[in-house]
Amino acid sequence: MATCFRWLDEQTFWGPPISGTTDLFVSPALDVSEFGMVEIIIYCASRGADSPWVIVETAIADDTAMWVRATPSSLLLAPGSKKKLVLKASQTSAGEPGILERFIRLKIDPDSNETWWYTLQVDVIGYPEAA
Amino acid sequence: MASYIYWQKQIGYQGSQSTDTIGEAVVDLSPFGCAKIVAYISAISNAQLLLQTAPSDDPTLWSDVGSVTISSTGKTAVFLKATNPTDNNMERLLRWKIHPTATSWSITFSLHLLGYQNAL
């Protein structure tokens, strides 16, 4: 049976011009070890004109060396749009669908030369069986 | 439901002979139909890390898991299926093996496992 929950309530993240070397983690690591597959639905309520990329990462342990991109591409969501990602335990390398390990986290890669902002909401549907 | 096992905490080996080293940590995969193994190699020189599987802990029954040879630093993930009889095979037990490729070798690694009840 699937488990549905809101990972991130609608929140606004913003920042001044900074280099792309400083990532902003918009959620703590989420333990999804009980699931073999998850759907992540990211809704962008609004964003600035020069907003950065949104990236989903996964790791087998919450260790800085263990985190990798869950999907090969970064996301640039249009205001009012949503994007669904599917992560599978059976996936072992970056590709579509994405990789699922024990933890996931969401980060913003602010490779922007101007002040940026994003208003995001994220829901998760987890399935116990691997797929 | 999946189960997480911290199979092998970080451990370092070095050797001066071309003899395989077999891990003592044997995982019983019988509760699972498929499993994800993640190896993290922080240092490696003249060695390969392999997985071995067997239906019972009999020395003659262990065989290398097909197409799984880890020889570089970083993270490598492998997905094993009980339904797959050949490549990436998965039997009841799992262990690791270090295979030196020269007489002087070293490796530092950790292994993590996520087991899933259903078979794919």
Nearest to A84 by CA among A43, A55, A46, A119: A43
pLDDT digit string, tens, across residues A86-105: 999 999 988 889 999 999 99
Predicted pLDDT of residue A17 = 62
> Closest partner residue to B38 among A60, A90, A91, by Cβ?
A60
Q: How confident is the model at residue B94 (pLDDT cuts 50, 70, 90)?
A: very high
> Do residues B96 and B8 lie in contact, with contact meaning Cβ atoms separated by under 8 Å?
yes
Global confidence as pTM: 0.87
Q: What pairing do the DSSP bridges indicate for beta strands A81-88 and A98-99? A: parallel
What value does the mean pLDDT of chain A take? 88
**pLDDT at residue A96, as a whole number:** 84
CA dihedral (B51, B52, B53, B59) in degrees, to 10, reads -160
Token digits for B102?
């020269």
Q: Which of B77, B114, B118 sits opposite A33 (nearest CB)?
A: B114
- Kindly list the residues from chain B whose CB atom is less than 8 angstroms away from the CB atom of residue A130: 2, 33-34, 36, 116, 118, 120
3-state secondary structure B3-31: EEEEEEEEEEEEECCCCCEECCCCEECCC
Per-window interface: B 51-90 vs A, CB < 8 A: 75, 77-79
Does residue A20 have a pLDDT over 60? Answer: no
Per-residue pLDDT, averaged over B61-67, amounts to 87
In Å, how far is B117's CA from the nearest CA of chain A? Answer: 7
Q: Give the pLDDT score at B9.
A: 94
Contact A119, A53 (CB under 8 A): no
A102 at the B interface (CB within 8 A)? yes
Judged against a pLDDT cut of 70, whether residue A19 lies above it is answered with no
- Between CA B81 and CA A15 the distance in angstroms is 45
Q: What is the pLDDT of residue A113?
A: 67
Q: How sure is the predictor about B98, in pLDDT bands with cuts at 50, 70 and 90?
A: very high
Q: What's the pLDDT score for residue A48?
A: 85
Least confident of A109-118, B10-19, B60-69, B101-110: A109-118
pLDDT tens, position by position, A32-57: 999 999 999 999 999 887 778 899 99
Chain A residues touching B6 at Cβ < 8 A = 61
Mean pLDDT is lowest, of A105-114, B41-50, B101-110, for A105-114
Query: Could you give the ipTM of this predicted complex?
Result: 0.80
Predicted pLDDT of residue A21:
61
Question: Smallest Cβ distance to A33: which of B2, B33, B78?
Answer: B2
The torsion angle over the Cα atoms of residues A77, A78, A79 and A85, rounded to 10 degrees, is -40
Give the residue from B40, B114, B117, B118 with the most A CB atoms within 10 Å of its CB, the best one to mutate. B114
B55 preceded by a cis bond (ω within 30 of 0): no
Q: A130–B40: do the CB atoms touch at under 8 Å?
A: no
Q: How far is C-alpha A71 from the geometric centre of its chain's CA atoms?
A: 9
Q: Give A77→chain B minimum CA distance, Å.
A: 29
AA identity, residue B101:
T
Distance CA B70, CA B88 (A): 14
Q: Which helix H or strand E contains A55, and what residues bound it?
A: strand A53-59
